[in-house]
Amino acid sequence: MKYHIVTYGCQMNVHESEKIAGLLRSAGYSEEAPVEEADIVVFNTCCIRENAENHAFGNIGALKKLKRQKKGMLIAVGGCMAQEAGKAELLVRKFPFIDIVFGTHNVAELPSLIERKRQEKKVVSLLPDRAATEDGAEAYRTSYPNAWVNITYGCNNFCTYCIVPYVRGREKSRSADRIIEEVRALVAAGYKEITLLGQNVNSYRDGETDFPALLDRVASVDGKFRVRFMTSHPKDFSARLVEVMKKHDKICNLLHLPAQSGSSRILSLMNRRYTREQYLEKVALLRREIPEAEITTDLIVGFPTETEEDFAGTLSLVEEADFSSAFTFVYSPRTGTKAATMEGQIPEEVSKERIARLIGRVNENTRRKSERYVGKTIEILCEDFDAKKGLYLGREPLGRMGYFASAENCVGKFVQMKVTRANGVSLYGELI
């Protein structure tokens, strides 16, 4: 039997899809295959923004004909959208050919849900929250030489625009010892880059071990590998964390620090619990201690009541914080969040015009910073081969993708590349 997994959303979902693959293999599914050949298709969904939901709806609906042709094929829908209040009922009503619906808290139950489907017409299983941080699901990793390691689940921040606390539950931290055990095993297996994951890694706590202490332990594991982490909430970003980053060469000096807005008034309405000035103080701290560090961010335009002055603050923040790149979004109302009921919703045409200006400003920064690499030699961790370009590719420590030619297979190796040209966030060069 074969499986096909469709993944939407963040790195957390990417890693959970690896767990789903591991669970399916334990249940007798031997390999991943194109959707037309699959005996089970699993959608691991996202509901952070409306377009992610619409995309999932479209792809699920497209399987109606295939499902009719392949009588034994199962269709399962999981992830954040399935966990969202009322969405399981909507999915079953809108797509009656769906066989299984499961939530974010019971991924590990998938094999048993498949077994239940043998006796039941339709299986819907949603838990209100996860009981434990360890679910026993063994990931079938597909991102070599990179590996994702969850350190927390859930979120307690309740930003007014965000539905994550409602679909991921309350924040829970994994055992530090279990995390270190997992990292050691991954390094021993040959993985060269470990990314620690959480909705807010900075609020991690296991007894007396906070996130800086955990990061220190991870970076102290023997072996040549890199360490990254995401996502860092600015309100919890500390001088101790900067000290640990500075202490270890293994830790990449690239910080993803979502600002969301450059207006203190909007930040207050978002319940971000920091001001523009406080955010810039964190940036200054990092740059003072680690001058070569780079910062990426998330930015939202069109939040309710956002004025042109508020938006101008976001534009100027791009310059003042000197972001190397940014994920930019138009505000998307999510049912159940406080912001969805706020007065002063911004017209779509205004948001579209602002996002275009913001992207232009961010892209200018990205190009300028990339051009500084030309003529320099950088270390690349080779991740893959791009057949279309005929080039190997991989990232340097500060996150830019490097492309190069090689007669030998370089995947999983650290190589030295001299940069000959830059194109946006991508670098091209020659091995030395």
Tell me, what's the pLDDT at 159?
98
How far is it, in rounded angstroms, from Cα 355 to Cα 351?
6
Nearest-CA neighbor of 294 among 425, 145, 428?
A: 425
Q: Give the pTM.
A: 0.95
**Fold classification of 2-125 (topology level):** Rossmann fold (3.40.50)
pLDDT of residue 190: 98
Question: From its phi and psi, is residue 136 left (phi > 0), alpha (psi between -120 and 50) or beta?
Answer: left
**Which residue, 181, 173, 16, 26, is CA-closest to 83?**
16
Q: In which residue ranges of the chain is pLDDT below 70?
A: none
Residue intervals of the chain classified under CATH 2.40.50.140 are 377-431
Q: Considering Cα of 60, then 7, then 360, then 340, what sign does the dihedral take?
A: positive
pLDDT at position 91: 97
pLDDT at residue 86 in the model:
95
Residues 325, 317: Cα–Cα separation, whole Å: 12
| pLDDT, position 418 | 98
Find all residues with CB under 8 Å of 62, minimum gap 6, and list them: none
pLDDT in tens, 158-169: 999 999 999 999
Cα 3 to Cα 37, 198, 340: the distances in Å are 8, 27, 37
Report pLDDT for 136.
Answer: 83
Residue 383, H or E segment: strand 377-386
Of the candidates 309, 224, 310, 238, which has an alpha carbon nearest to the alpha carbon of residue 267? 310
CATH 3.30.750.210 domain residues, the chain: 143-252
> 143-252 has which fold?
Transcription Regulator spoIIAA (3.30.750)
Separation of first and last alpha carbons in the chain = 45
Question: Collapsing DSSP states into helix, strand and coil, what is residue 17?
Answer: helix
Q: Which residues contact 421 (CB under 8 A, 6 or more apart)?
A: 374, 427, 428, 429
Q: Is CATH 2.40.50.140 the classification given to domain 377-431?
A: yes
Residues 332-374 have pLDDT tens digits of 999 999 999 999 999 999 999 999 999 999 999 999 999 999 9
Residue range(s) of every CATH 3.30.750.200 domain in the chain:
255-371
Look up residue 222 and give its two tokens: 């023997």
How many other CB atoms are there within 10 angstroms of residue 429's CB atom?
23
**Which pLDDT belongs to residue 408?**
96
- What's the fold here for domain 255-371? Transcription Regulator spoIIAA (3.30.750)
